[in-house]
Structure 1
Amino acid sequence: MDAEKELIIDVKNLTKVYGEKTVVDNIDLQVQKGDIYGFLGPNGSGKTTSIRMVCGLLPITKGEGTCLGYDIGTHSGAIKQQVGYMTQKFTLYPDLTVRENLKIFARLHSLKNIKEAVERTMDNLQIGKARANQKAYELSGGWKQRLALGVATIHDPKLLLLDEPTAGVDPKARREFWDYISGLSSRGITTLVSTHYMDEAERCNKLSYIAYGKLLSSGTQKDIISGCNIKTYNIVGKGVYKLIAELQEHPDVEQISMFGSSAHLSIKKDVDISPIASQYKEFEWQEIDTSLEDAFIYLMSSQKDNFA
């Protein structure tokens, strides 16, 4: 952790319990100013709940810490004023135009110069005059996403919370979205984003992986991959898909799955692959760099029995 950089989020033992079910279990999280911090994990893992607790939208069951310098347990109102939150589902006013939606949220944030804020936001997101007068329900998925991002940033928040922001959006719109987020980061705006996409995870400078309410790994991409202590092989050959069924339960195999027309197999670094490879000489075995996706598949497979 860079001691010179300001911590925007600093929480410990963050916990949320509903009845007898613990959906977030003692999570620690530190996010520095300007970070693009990725929150990854399967559906139901606790990502959204964690984000909502951090920004004051959901009361915590247990834990302590600060967001933007405010106590997350007692100053949720102050936190929410400085946060921009973009939900997974489009929740704006479908029968209003792009401009009208932006005006409404500028008023909700009590901005002094509403017209200036709306025009600045449309310029930043390259929303032209024709698009500005279009009804929200008429927009494509990519433009709805852009409008939602405009609403989330119209008040110049210090922290941006994005919950699966590019679900259902085409690749071009996703790339433009991330280019814009990178620009915000260069201006010192911090982003905490949950995503299922590995290419998006790779654009984050820090990551946390959550499953079953527990934090399994966190740090840079390099930290997470090296922390798994695995080596990965690419296996090519006719009928390679059959290997998955045959090696799935092998005691030395940490994980194996299809990647396109080949298979990726991971074992611990101190395990010799030769005995396995010699049994399947008809296939080509090549050691490759363990990818972020390989690491996350390993993390999931290694923990499922503990928390299921």
Structure 2
Amino acid sequence: MSVPLESSLPPAIVLDEVTRSFNHRTIIDHVSLTVQQGELFGLLGPSGSGKTTLIKLMAGIDRADSGSAHMFGVHLPKLEMLHRFGYMAQSDALYMELSGRQNMAFFGKLYGLKRAVLKQRIEEAARLVNLTEHLNKQVAAYSGGMKRRLSLAIALMHQPSLLVLDEPTVGIDPVLRRSIWQELRSLAAQGTTIIVTTHVMDEAEKCDRLGLIREGRFIAVDTPANLLAQTGSSSIEEAFITLGTRMEGGAVR
């Protein structure tokens, strides 16, 4: 990470006692978190733990029932912040009848990219996710992994200050997954803040810090190395299980 956690720059994300419920069920339970600019922050937790809801609150896509969320010092949700971040959802929001290139051009124009810059960014983002030779194919003919790669390329196109990725490498082969993570590390080193959810343990270990989330609450937020040391674990998976057991016993709140 190029920006130290004690940086004088305003944080990329600040959540203060955020709570969110659906149908009288609490999904996010009084969560507080600060993510610094240039940090690669990972959210790790089982399905249904609240990861997707939490990143929607961070991006201002959803509104908290109580508490507050800020992005680069601006209270969320705020319409003008939409151009500051790139968001890749867990489900691909693509136009199946259009080609990959047409999808990228459409979303690029929404981001305000002009002709020459738009063309350049389409080529750069497509090359990053290894989609260049498939750009003129109709998206309906794409495999699941290709659709994920296209969604990632779209999120990257306008070079956002904050990149929010929900399970970005699901369905992507290991070689390309490694390449994508190398690029994410490079973007973070250049100052881009990245928040990513993952179920993949070796991906989690590549993050600067991890938020381990269970039942809508953090059971720990720390660097992967510190989480391993604090729990005497040999893997992040083992650390998660240990911390979850402590939570059930009342040792972690």
Q: Tell me the CA shift for residue 196 of structure 1.
A: 0.7
Which letter maps to 2:79?
Answer: G
- For 2:39, the equivalent position in structure 1 comes to 35
Alpha-carbon displacement from aligned partner over 1:13-40 (angstroms, at most 9, x marks no partner): 1111224321101111111111110001
Q: Tell me how far apart the structure 2 counterparts of residues 19 and 305 of structure 1 sit (CA, whole Å).
A: 28
Which letter maps to 1:45?
Answer: S
Which letter maps to 1:179?
Answer: Q
Matched-pair contact (CA < 8 Å) for 1:82–1:157: yes
Q: Tell me the CA shift for residue 110 of structure 1.
A: 2.3
Matched, 1:160 2:163: yes
Q: Tell me how far apart the structure 2 counterparts of residues 5 and 177 of structure 1 sit (CA, whole Å).
A: 29
- TM-score, normalised with respect to structure 2: 0.88
- For 1:53, the equivalent position in structure 2 comes to 57
- For 1:25, the equivalent position in structure 2 comes to 29
- For 2:107, the equivalent position in structure 1 comes to 105
- For 1:4, the equivalent position in structure 2 comes to 7
Alpha-carbon displacement from aligned partner over 1:86-116 (angstroms, at most 9, x marks no partner): 0112221122111111111012222223333
Structure number with greater CO (CA < 8 Å, separation at least 6) is: 2
Q: How many residues align?
A: 245
Matched-pair contact (CA < 8 Å) for 2:45–2:212: yes
* Equivalence map 1:104-143=2 (5 Å): 104-113=106-115, 114-128=118-132, 130-143=133-146
Secondary structure in 2 aligned to 1:85? Answer: strand
- The more displaced of 7-16 and 133-142 is 133-142
Runs of 4+ in 1 over 6 A off after TM superposition: none
Equivalent position to 1:297, from 232, 236, 241: 241
- For 1:187, the equivalent position in structure 2 comes to 190
Matched-pair contact (CA < 8 Å) for 2:16–2:67: yes
Matched-pair contact (CA < 8 Å) for 2:128–2:180: no
Matched, 1:220 2:164: no
Which letter maps to 2:238?
Answer: D
Q: Tell me the CA shift for residue 11 of structure 1.
A: 1.6
* Greater C-alpha Rg: 1
Q: Tell me how far apart the structure 2 counterparts of residues 133 and 92 of structure 1 sit (CA, whole Å).
A: 14
Which letter maps to 2:19?
Answer: T
Q: Tell me the CA shift for residue 304 of structure 1.
A: 4.5
- TM-score, normalised with respect to structure 1: 0.73
Matched-pair contact (CA < 8 Å) for 1:88–1:163: yes
Q: Tell me how far apart the structure 1 counterparts of residues 151 and 119 of structure 2 sit (CA, whole Å).
A: 18
Secondary structure in 2 aligned to 1:107? Answer: helix
Sort the Cα spacing of 1:71 and 1:291 in 2 relative to 1 into closer, same or farther, 3 A. same
Alpha-carbon displacement from aligned partner over 1:45-90 (angstroms, at most 9, x marks no partner): 1111111011111011111241122112xx4212222111101122
Alpha-carbon displacement from aligned partner over 1:162-205 (angstroms, at most 9, x marks no partner): 11112222222221221221121122111100111100001101
Q: Tell me how far apart the structure 1 counterparts of residues 22 and 144 of structure 2 sit (CA, whole Å).
A: 33
In terms of fraction of residues, the more strand-rich structure is 1
Matched-pair contact (CA < 8 Å) for 1:5–1:33: no
Matched-pair contact (CA < 8 Å) for 1:11–1:29: yes
Equivalent position to 2:17, from 9, 13, 21: 13
- The more displaced of 182-191 and 45-54 is 182-191
Which letter maps to 2:143?
Answer: S
Q: Tell me how far apart the structure 2 counterparts of residues 187 and 139 of structure 1 sit (CA, whole Å).
A: 32
Equivalent position to 1:77, from 76, 79, 92: 79
Matched-pair contact (CA < 8 Å) for 1:85–1:160: yes
Q: Tell me the CA shift for residue 123 of structure 1.
A: 4.1
> Unmatched 5+ residue regions in structure 1?
232-288
